[in-house]
Every structure is written in C-alpha cells, then in structure tokens.
C-alpha cells in the first residue's frame, strides 16, 4: 500500500506540473508550487521555500522534490558547478549523511523512484524538471548525482536489463541544461529591465526576450545580465539582423539603408522612429550592458552596415 500511494502521488504531481507548464510556461511561480494539487480530498504541495529536499505529509518515506534556490543579483550560478558529464550534483541536507532527508533520497535511489527537480532562477520563479532520479551517492563529497529522464517515461520503473536508461538520462540531462541556461538568462535579463523592451518600452512579458550582446559561442558570450538586453520580439530580431545597433553610449542606431527606406507605418514607427534615442537601462547600474561588450557588437554592426 505504501508503494501504491507513493507512486500515485508522484504520478499526480507529474500530471499537475505538465498542465501548469502548458498553461503558464516553463518557469512556474512559487505560489503555484506551494499550493500544489488536489489528491484524495486534500492538497499536496510540491515544495516550500525552506527545505531543499521536500517530502509532503502524504508521503511516509521518500521525498517528492529537490530544489536549488535562486542566486541573488547577477551572481549567475556556473552551470559546470551543477552539471557534470554524469549529471546534476545535488548537495546533501547539512553535513550529516544520516540526516532523514539524505536517508530519504538514498532510499529513492535504491528504489529508483522518480522525483521533481526545481531550479530557482529569480526569487519566486522556478524551472521544474521531471522525472529525475538519484543515480549516485558520494558521502565524502556530501553530494548526490541526479539524472533527468524523458517525461514520456515518467513513472516507468527501469527494468534490471534496461542498459539504455543511463545513456538516455545523460542525454536528456544535457538537453535540459541548455533549456535551463536559456530560461535563466531570459528571465534574469527581463527582470533587470523591469519587464520592458529597452527600445520601445513594451511591457507585455510574453513578448519580451533576452538578446545576447556577444552571442552564445563567443569566448565572452556569458549568460550574465550585463551581456543581455531585454527586447521585444521585433527589436530582438532587428538587433540580431544588425538592422538596429546600440552604441557603447547606449544610443540606438538604425542601419542607413533601412533608415532611408520608404515603406509603411510599421517601419516608420517600429524601427526608424527610434534612431538616435537612448535605450532604457536597468535601475541597478551593475545590470547595465558592459561597454566593452557593446563596443565589440557595435563595431560588428558598423562593419555589416
């Protein structure tokens, strides 16, 4: 009966998260996760803001979720500190390997029970991933190793002869790492710009994106707020296509041929009208675009223009 209850709760949690992600998006608010879902006449929260390893009252032995808390300001957490070729490294609760929370995760590892992983991006906003499995335990380093599996297989217990499970989970873990990188960068940049497009001041968050100043793959193209500008979809595409440029003094320039082009009102008011204006900057100076990043990007814009 304990096993039946345990699996039913986990399946209900996965279904709830799937519905919320479809409705809200890949990043969920803490209020939704703390409120949780209905189960057998009661409510089951998925996490709280205090415990990283969380076991709701309805479960007797093993935790339901693990959480990495958000970092403050622009101290972007290096992904290599969390992700290795073997998976996600997750710290013990405290320094005692026999703490009940650590014992619970160890039991989940032995029984290969799926959990939910919440990665905090900014205060009150979490990126959920499921199902995840504890696949390693290193008491000498006070860490567990966690792998992420295909959601389509959530709740399916691996067979003893399932030799593909380990390779599949490592592959999915790397894919999730990339999505986490993108979501974390976008949300932190958009928050820094007070949920406005830096060019046109559009406030609709669902239309806002984080534009890299120095792109992914560039030696200095780090996923940090000073390497990003919050832009609406239109101005992000224009920035990436070098139709819009931003000078090291934060002034918008429109490519000369586009500036003199004659077209309809969308070009006039959506692109040309912002030539010579200053972008809206974050309130906190530490989040402003770095001038050396803008200098390199602007020189690229001028060369292509």
Does the structure show a pLDDT above 60 at 79? no
35 SS3 class: helix
User: Higher confidence at residue 168 or residue 299?
Assistant: 299
The total domain count for the chain is 2
Least confident of 14-23, 152-161, 171-180, 274-283: 152-161
Residues 81 and 141 grouped into a single domain: yes
Listed residues 188, 207, 234: the one ending a domain: 188
The residue-averaged pLDDT of 103-125 equals: 93
Residues 12 and 141 grouped into a single domain: yes
> If we measure between CA atoms, which residue out of 252, 245, 303 comes closest to residue 279?
252
Residues 133 and 24 grouped into a single domain: yes
Residue range 125-158, pLDDT digits in tens: 999 999 999 999 999 999 999 988 877 766 555 5
Residues 239 and 275 grouped into a single domain: yes
Beta bridge mates, 70: none
- Provide the pLDDT confidence category of residue 219 given band limits of 50, 70 and 90: confident
The residue-averaged pLDDT of 100-106 equals: 97
Listed residues 188, 207, 225: the one ending a domain: 188
Contact 227, 290 (CB under 8 A): yes
Contact 231, 197 (CB under 8 A): yes
φ and ψ of 59, to 5 deg: -95, 140
Residues 221 and 82 grouped into a single domain: no
Length of the chain: 305
Listed residues 158, 173, 188: the one ending a domain: 188
Contact 55, 63 (CB under 8 A): yes
Residues 197 and 184 grouped into a single domain: no
The residue-averaged pLDDT of 237-249 equals: 97
Residues 171 and 207 grouped into a single domain: no
Residues 166 and 273 grouped into a single domain: no
Residues 168 and 144 grouped into a single domain: yes
Residues 144 and 174 grouped into a single domain: yes
Residues 218 and 182 grouped into a single domain: no
The residue-averaged pLDDT of 188-211 equals: 94
Residues 146 and 236 grouped into a single domain: no
Domain that holds residue 173: 2-188
The residue-averaged pLDDT of 298-305 equals: 91
């Amino acid at each position: 009966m304990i096993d039946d209850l345990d699996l039913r709760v986990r399946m209900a949690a996965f279904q709830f998260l799937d519905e919320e992600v479809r409705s809200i998006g890949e990043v969920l608010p803490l209020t939704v996760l703390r409120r949780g879902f209905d189960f057998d006449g009661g409510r089951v929260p998925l996490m709280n803001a205090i415990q990283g390893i969380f076991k709701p009252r309805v479960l007797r032995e093993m935790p339901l979720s693990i959480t990495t808390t958000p970092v403050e300001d622009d101290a972007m957490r290096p992904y290599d500190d969390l992700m290795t070729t073997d998976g996600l490294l997750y710290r013990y609760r405290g320094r005692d390997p026999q703490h009940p929370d650590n014992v619970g995760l160890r039991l989940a590892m032995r029984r290969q029970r799926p959990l939910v992983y919440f990665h905090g991006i900014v205060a009150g906003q979490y990126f959920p991933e499921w199902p995840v499995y504890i696949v390693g335990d290193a008491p000498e380093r006070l860490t567990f190793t966690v792998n992420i599996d295909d959601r389509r297989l959530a709740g399916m217990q691996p067979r003893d002869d399932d030799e593909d499970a380990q390779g599949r989970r490592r592959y999915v873990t790397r894919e999730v790492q990339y999505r986490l990188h993108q979501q974390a960068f976008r949300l932190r940049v958009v928050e820094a710009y007070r949920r406005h497009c830096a060019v046109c001041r559009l406030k609709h968050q669902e239309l806002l994106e984080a534009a890299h100043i120095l792109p992914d793959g560039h030696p200095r193209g780090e996923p940090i707020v000073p390497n990003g500008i919050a832009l609406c979809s239109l101005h992000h595409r224009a920035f990436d296509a070098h139709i819009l440029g931003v000078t090291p003094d934060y002034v918008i320039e429109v490519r000369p041929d586009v500036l003199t082009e004659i077209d309809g009102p969308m070009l006039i008011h959506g692109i040309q009208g912002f030539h010579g204006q200053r972008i809206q900057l974050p309130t906190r100076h530490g989040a402003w675009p770095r001038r050396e990043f803008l200098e390199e990007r602007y020189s690229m814009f001028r060369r292509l223009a």
